[in-house]
């Protein structure tokens, strides 16, 4: 998997659909990065997620990976992902073994997100930034990588149909960019076989 993730940065980006061109043409694309944190639990690996607070300007209330906009001092997407994970939920960069990148994910809101996959060694001493993060939870990696749980939905937006991935888990609805990155992770894990 490490080799496939290392090659992920060279793979074509994933776009959220036909609306992307019209929305981002009027504004600059915003570089961002997220940490896809695989927590090495004794009971089996999990993925750590955040639920964003409802007052945020971008993606309010949505399930996401720890991450955010790249800043001038960030030399690489990896630095952005690790910095944001520490700021948002208190993950110590020394606890993270970086495995590689998934393909860039371009959102209809203008973000170009680099997902950085890392193994996180417990124990976690999480410190939540309650301005940005309403909740932190973990979901079993096996459930998230099971293609039977990857649902394709559509909705009408400004007169056009838009499709998106969704992965419901317990009382959480993981959808959009985060679910799309999970589908990319599934492709990387299972050597690019169709999801």
Task: Name the average pLDDT for the chain.
Answer: 83
Q: How far is CA 25 from CA 10, 17, 21, in A?
A: 24, 14, 6
Number of domains observed in the structure of the chain = 1
92 in a domain, yes or no?
Answer: yes
Q: 167: pLDDT confidence band, cut at 50, 70 and 90?
A: very high
Q: Assess if residue 194 is contained within a domain.
A: no
What does each C-alpha distance from 64 to 79, 156, 172 come to in angstroms? Answer: 18, 23, 11
**What pLDDT score does 95 carry?**
96
Query: pLDDT tens digit string along 114-160?
Result: 999 999 999 999 998 888 898 999 999 999 999 999 998 877 766 77
Whether 14 maps to a domain, the answer reads yes
Residue 24 predicted with pLDDT over 50: no
pLDDT in tens, 87-104: 999 999 999 999 999 999
Whether 160 is in a domain gets the answer yes
Q: Is residue 195 part of a domain?
A: no
CATH number (domain holding residue 26): 3.90.79.10
Q: Considering the domain boundaries, does residue 157 fall inside one?
A: yes
**Is position 55 within any domain?**
yes
**Residue 112 to residues 23, 32, 45, 185, 189, Cα–Cα distance (Å):** 13, 6, 27, 17, 22
Measured CA to CA, the distance from residue 188 to residue 133 in angstroms comes to: 28
**Domain range for residue 115?**
2-189
80 pLDDT more than 80? yes
The answer to whether residue 117 is domain-embedded is yes
Please report the pLDDT score of residue 129 as a whole number.
87
């Amino acid at each position: 998997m490490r080799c496939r993730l290392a090659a992920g940065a060279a793979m074509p980006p994933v776009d959220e659909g036909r609306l992307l061109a019209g929305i981002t043409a009027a504004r600059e694309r915003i570089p961002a990065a997220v940490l896809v944190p695989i927590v090495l639990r004794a009971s089996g690996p999990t993925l750590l997620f955040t639920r964003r607070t409802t007052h945020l300007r971008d993606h309010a209330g949505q399930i996401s990976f720890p991450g955010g906009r790249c800043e001038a001092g960030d030399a690489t997407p990896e630095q952005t992902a690790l910095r944001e994970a520490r700021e948002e939920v208190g993950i110590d960069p020394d606890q993270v073994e970086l495995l590689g990148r998934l393909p860039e994910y371009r959102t209809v809101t203008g973000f170009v997100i680099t997902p950085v996959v890392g193994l996180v060694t417990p124990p976690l001493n999480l410190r939540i930034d309650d301005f940005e993060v309403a909740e932190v939870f973990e979901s079993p990696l096996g459930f998230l990588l099971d293609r039977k749980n990857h649902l394709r939905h559509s909705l009408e937006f400004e007169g056009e149909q838009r499709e998106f991935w969704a992965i419901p888990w317990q009382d959480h609805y993981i959808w959009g960019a985060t679910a799309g990155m999970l589908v990319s992770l599934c492709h990387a894990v299972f050597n690019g076989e169709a999801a």
